[in-house]
Chains A and B, each alone.
Chain A
Amino acid sequence: MTTTAELMDYAEVVERYDPVLGLEVHVELSTNTKMFCGCPNSFGGDPNTHVCPVCLGLPGALPVVNGTAVESAIRIGLALNCDIAEWCRFARKNYFYPDMPKNFQTSQYDEPIAFDGYIDVVLDDGEVVRVDIERAHMEEDTGKSLHVGGATGRIHGAEHSLLDYNRAGVPLIEIVTKPITGMGERAPEVARAYVTALRDLLRAMDVSDVRMDQGSLRCDANVSLMPKGASEFGTRTETKNVNSLRSVERAVRHEMTRHAAILADGGSIKQETRHFQEADGTTAAGRTKETAEDYRYFPEPDLVPIAPTREWVEQLRATIPEMPWERRKRIQDDWNLTDEELRDLVNTGAIDLVAATVDAGATQADARSWWVQYLNQQATSRETELADLAITPAQVARVIELVGSGELTNKLARQVVDGVLDGEGDPDQVIEKRGLKVVSDDSALLAAVDEALAAQPDVADKIRGGKVQAAGAIVGAVMKATKGQADAARVRELILERVGA
């Protein structure tokens, strides 16, 4: 376990050293089936239920490439501004491990489908950093091992292990950056912003669930330091098990402070794999291997080369959506939003919903107000995501329309929305069922107003005497009497009329 004594103060680290980052992100594609067979590609399931001879690597079984996965890989490559290979192959990466059914992983090696790209990452203060992409390639996921007994939960020291091959053969895209240099003290933030941007991009493209907590987006962070002004990279470590965006930042920062302490002490960094520990934000060394792994890569003879035609690539290019950060910028300009208003929209995940509500006829101010405030509260109290609430943008637009025409008060409108969320039907059906129309019949309202004035003669006198704000008490009484189904503004007008103020 690393102790704080072995870490250097961060300010000193960035004063003395330049960090170099390399980020490898694995993305599980959300295709219906696995990379090389027809088994369902879905998270979870009872162990070893989503398996077949192919993904179990049974003798004689053969892989066939999932065309949708190739399509997703090309689209991801295009979104990352990569060149798309005219001809590429899969290779076999040979090593023995129980959760890998064939004891080789079918992966692309020196012929990736996409290469030489970049992504512009927006930091919190608006600064834009360009991260160069080395490659994006296709591969298959491994199964999962559960090591039982032993202290660490790893294979070493375990009493026995359980294997679940449901994940074996799930399509993965590995996206590798070129070395990210010159970021100085912002390196950890850049790492987080990069992974965040990737996540947003992949989500917008609808190619992956991008859930770091479920492992559908995984980040390995390579970190090294070199003395300030040097040009030769230092020895790197690769930190795995980084399971949240925040952890990406913490892991990079921790490794920087750890490396710096060792280097400043005259020591050298051991090139190794380390595991991030969520609990205390430190990293721990993995099991060291006595010998370097030789994966004996060679072209996968069971698969034929992939040669995407340029026509196909261009067709796919046309399907790449606007980048999320570009879209945000456009929406901020179009809707004339402050940075704070934009941040609320982004943080609540409401952008698409608001846009769709606007498309359905609402003003953006009304739509924004509903989604960011009341519906966001409802999502929180119902413990769900905004997008998963049981109401559509069109239904929200209808409610806004009814408020605008005076048929609903805001209070009634919230009750209508509650009804929709509770599955009572669309807004009009809820209004019908719950009897929630505004009482707009003046004679009915006048009766209620007269009654309220008669019940509180002192208040009526005050209003007559010019204290117009006292009318609030009468409005309240009328609203109570009409069970909230009156338009408060109209009630107020009638009160003032009645007392002749």
Chain B
Amino acid sequence: MSDLTRLTAAELADKIHTGEVSAAETTQAHLDRIAAVDGDVHAFLHVDAEGALEAARAVDADIAAGTAPASPLAGVPLALKDVLTTKGVPTTCGSKTLEGWLPPYDATVTRRLREAGVPILGKTNMDEFAMGSSTENSAYGPTRNPWDLGRIPGGSGGGSSASLAAYEAPLAIGTDTGGSIRQPAAVTATVGVKPTYGGVSRYGLVAFSSSLDQAGPCGRTVLDAALLHEVIAGHDPMDATSVDAPVPAVVDAARQGARGDLSGVKVGVVREFSGEGYQGGVLRSFETAVAQLKELGAEVVEVSCPNFTYALPAYYLIAPSECSSNLARFDAMRYGLRVADDGSHSAEEVMSLTREEGFGAEVKRRVMLGTYALSSGYYDAYYGSAQKVRTLITRDFAAAFEQVDVLVSPTTPVTPFKLGEKVDDPLAMYLNDICSIPANLAGNAAMSVPSGLSEEDGLPVGLQIMAPALADDRLYRVGAAYEAARGPVLDKLGELEASK
């Protein structure tokens, strides 16, 4: 395999911009790697070799002409989660209902990537409409974890994280509604960031739960994630919920953190994120991480966020409610799958039969849950109560952030489980997101950074760092300092069996 695929995005950018390697050969190296290993990993639903190479050649032409690169990541290829629209390139959201759909427009994230000269290698696999924690809910088959092809890569953005861990891409974009960036990052030993809600435009992000969805950067290092964060973040007039504020200086924060000094930083350990349901190795890895933060100079205190206990049930009312409405548009009338169109069925029947055929079990489960929760007579008890819980969780965060700069916890309670292990037990599956969901409900920024391997199974564990809204830079400072102290984890992953 080519050395180029082993480099970080920052290293690749340096080599490309100094002319040491071309963007085209960098992109080709990753395309070759995808061709070699993706049959086993199945991180990609669609590879756009031609589009990626064309973008790379444009960067090379700029460099040859002496023009300054369009961005610090110009020429560094990327894997894009299939939930973000790409003009003329398939966008399925892992669903049969969008099979063959070619969006007529680019998501704002996609547009910013193109404008930054980032070649898009292809679209990555995901749980259908981002609903799931394992990518097993993809209509196109699951993605496999490069650490153990028999295990899940996390979800919903398992394809994006697996593509990083399998060295198919140096950068990826994920989306995080309840942990879909952070949980896959944790179980693949990669870095994933859910920016502050509104920090990255949702325009063109096919909605699962509008008030929770947030696109964010994924990389193998904290610095790479920071570089990507600055490319995709910023105010977008096409998204009314986009934050009209300067993008936090996350690259500077990552560089500062990498110097390894956290003196003056107050870190809070969330008391509620431990105990029953947490794997021993995960907790011990977390304790080690906390000790390392102290060694870096951080002051560590325990904080209590009592309402976090109710985050999961509140989430499973709010997200399904919103999704039941967001997914109503998939009705066969304008795009996507259309069944029973034989002239003998009414429009209503075509809609109904198409939705029956096009949606998988988990999507149907959540649409039904949400439809019920919003029904007349139940709204106050379910959706209304959940929104109140959401307010309480936001207050817990606010109180905690009066005492500390960041909060830390394990990203997930357990290491990656086996494919098929939890598909018939949705509640067990939902528990995977118990630590990540509060940040979505409150709109805070949060990151997962590799924190070693669990002692009992040798599988990756993630450290979650949470910061107040608009203080994304704190994640990068603390994350980069910890990453430098802890040392690389992904290096411990042997070569994939398939490419041996």
Interface positions of A (Cβ within 8 A of B): 53, 56-65, 92, 94, 96, 98, 101-104, 155, 160-161, 163, 294, 296-298, 301-304
Contacts and interface: CB of A to CB of B under 8 A. Distances in A.
Contact of B329 (A59, A62, A65, A163): A59
B420 interface: no
Contact of B240 (A96, A98, A294, A303): A303
Contact of B210 (A56, A64, A155, A302): A302
B152 interface: no
Given A64-B237, A296-B371, A96 B348 contact: yes
A303 B203 CA distance: 12
Given A60-B204, A102-B328, 4 more contacts: A56-B334, A96-B348, A303-B240, A304-B240
A343 to B, nearest CB: 49
B334 A57 contact: yes
Contacts of A163: 333
21 contacts: A53-B105, A56-B334, A57-B329, A59-B329, A60-B107, A62-B203, A64-B239, A96-B351, A102-B329, A103-B329, A163-B333, A296-B371, A296-B376, A298-B321, A298-B325, A301-B210, A301-B211, A301-B241, A301-B322, A302-B207, A303-B240
B347 A62 contact: no
Interface in B354-390: 371, 374-376, 379, 383
A64 B240 contact: yes
Most buried by A among B105, B322, B325, B330: B325
B338 interface: no
Contact of A98 (B105, B333, B383): B333
Given A94-B374, A102-B328, A163-B333, A59 B103 contact: yes
A59 B328 contact: no
Given A101-B329, A296-B376, A298-B383, A59 B93 contact: yes
B479 to A, nearest CB: 29
A94 B325 contact: yes
B206 A60 contact: yes
B203 A61 contact: yes
Nearest to A147: B347
Interface string B338-356: 0000010001100100000
Contacts of A296: 324-325, 371, 374-376, 379
Nearest to B213: A301
Given A58-B103, A59-B93, A60-B206, A161 B240 contact: no
Most buried by A among B107, B203, B205: B203
Given A94-B328, A104-B328, A296-B325, A60 B203 contact: yes
A103 B328 contact: yes
B207 A60 contact: yes
A164 to B, nearest CB: 12
Nearest to B335: A58
A92 B325 contact: yes
B204 A61 contact: yes
B473 interface: no
Nearest to B205: A60
A302 B240 contact: yes
A98 B347 contact: yes
B85 interface: yes
Contact of B84 (A58, A60, A160): A60
A142 to B, nearest CB: 12
B215 to A, nearest CB: 11
Contacts of A56: 334
Contacts of B335: 58-59
B91 interface: yes
Contacts of A98: 331, 333, 347, 351
**Which of the four size classes fits the interface of chain B?**
35 or more
Contacts of B240: 62-65, 302-304
A60 B103 contact: yes
Nearest to A65: B240
A311 B374 CA distance: 37
Most buried by B among A53, A59, A298, A303: A59
A301 B206 CA distance: 14
A53 B104 contact: yes
B497 to A, nearest CB: 37
Contacts of B91: 59-60
B202 interface: yes
B121 to A, nearest CB: 20
Contacts of A96: 328, 331, 348, 351
Interface in B125-164: none
- Closest 7 A/B residue pairs (Cβ): A103-B328, A296-B374, A301-B210, A301-B211, A60-B204, A59-B206, A60-B206
A445 B348 CA distance: 84
A162 B101 CA distance: 21
Contacts of A304: 240-241
B98 interface: yes
Contacts of A101: 329, 334
Most buried by B among A56, A64, A298: A298
B175 to A, nearest CB: 11
A336 to B, nearest CB: 54
A104 B98 contact: no
B330 to A, nearest CB: 8
Contacts of A60: 84-85, 91, 103, 107, 203-207
A159 B175 CA distance: 43
A98 B325 CA distance: 15
A458 B107 CA distance: 96
Nearest to A96: B351
A301 B209 CA distance: 9
Interface in B83-124: 84-85, 91, 93, 98, 101, 103-105, 107
B1 interface: no
Interface in B272-330: 321-322, 324-325, 328-330
Contacts of A301: 209-211, 241, 322
A302 B241 contact: yes
Contacts of A58: 85, 103-105, 334-335
A160 B347 CA distance: 9
A367 B31 CA distance: 80
A414 B343 CA distance: 64
Contact of A104 (B203, B238, B325): B325
Contact of B202 (A62, A104, A297): A62
Contacts of B203: 60-62
A417 to B, nearest CB: 50
Contacts of A64: 237-240
Interface in B173-200: none
A299 to B, nearest CB: 9
Contacts of A302: 207, 210, 240-241
Nearest to A90: B240
A161 B347 contact: yes
Given A94-B325, A301-B322, A62 B107 contact: no
Nearest to B387: A299
Interface string B236-258: 01111100000000000000000
Nearest to B202: A62
A59 B238 contact: no
B469 to A, nearest CB: 15
B441 to A, nearest CB: 13
A107 to B, nearest CB: 13
A92 B379 CA distance: 14
A155 B349 CA distance: 13
Contacts of B321: 298
A166 to B, nearest CB: 14
